[in-house]
């Protein structure tokens, strides 16, 4: 996504040389995934991993992007039709003498809630964590499952 088009007429009046660097900076900012601006704002409330919701015949399936964590650092709960995924990613001091050179990854607490669109049997839910993706599978209640209705030709 580009906020300002490179060849927009609006910009033609300006001394292009001076502005082009700034313009490239702005474009770069909005080109980056989800916009770096929103990520910067997340600094104030920790970070928010991306959530996806899928549905099949029997289940609601929620996936969350949580790269580089440990299973025990992730908490999952379902309460009143709301799924909560929370936890804390700890910064690991792997090397005593390591000096940070570039730090873009987020550490600390995160908390995401998702209102589930269908009633689920929370006690029968399962979760897996593979390749940095948390997958929570929640079976729908019998009432929420699609039903085939027999049409009797009479």
Partner 1 sequence: MTTIANAENRGAQTKNASANERGYFVPQVNIVETKDSFILEAEMPGVSKGGLEVLLEGNELTIVGHRQTGVPGAEPVYRESSPRDFRREFVLDPSIDTSRLSAKIEQGLLTVTLPKTEKVKPRKIQVTG
Stretch that binds partner 1, among 9-17, 62-70, 120-128, 146-154 (CB under 8 A): 62-70
Which helix (H) or strand (E) element contains residue 57?
none
Q: What CA–CA distance (Å, rounded) separates 130 from 66?
A: 10
> Which of 18, 103, 148, 150: binder of partner 1 (CB under 8 A)?
103
Residue 150: strand, helix, or coil: coil
* Position 13 contacts partner 1 (CB under 8 A): no
* Position 40 contacts partner 1 (CB under 8 A): no
Count CB atoms within 10 A of the CB of residue 72: 7
Nearest to 139 by CA among 84, 87, 78: 78
Q: For partner 1, how many residues bind (rule: CB under 8 A)? A: 43
Q: Which residues contact partner 1 (rule: CB under 8 A)?
A: 24, 27-28, 31-34, 50-56, 59-61, 63, 65-69, 94-95, 97-106, 114, 117, 129-133, 135
């Amino acid at each position: 996504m580009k906020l300002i088009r490179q060849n927009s007429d609006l910009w033609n009046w300006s001394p292009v040389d001076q502005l082009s660097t700034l313009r490239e900076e702005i474009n770069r900012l909005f080109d980056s995934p989800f916009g770096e601006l929103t990520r910067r704002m997340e600094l104030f409330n920790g970070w928010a991993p991306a959530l996806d919701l899928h549905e099949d015949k029997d289940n609601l399936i929620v996936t969350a992007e949580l790269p580089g964590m440990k299973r025990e650092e992730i908490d999952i709960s379902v309460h009143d039709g709301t799924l909560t995924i929370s936890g804390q990613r700890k910064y690991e001091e792997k090397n005593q003498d390591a000096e940070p050179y570039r730090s873009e990854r987020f550490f600390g607490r995160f908390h995401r809630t998702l209102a589930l669109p269908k009633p689920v049997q929370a006690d029968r839910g399962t979760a897996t964590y593979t390749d940095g993706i948390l997958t929570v599978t929640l079976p729908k209640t019998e009432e929420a499952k699609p039903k085939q209705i027999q049409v009797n030709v009479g």
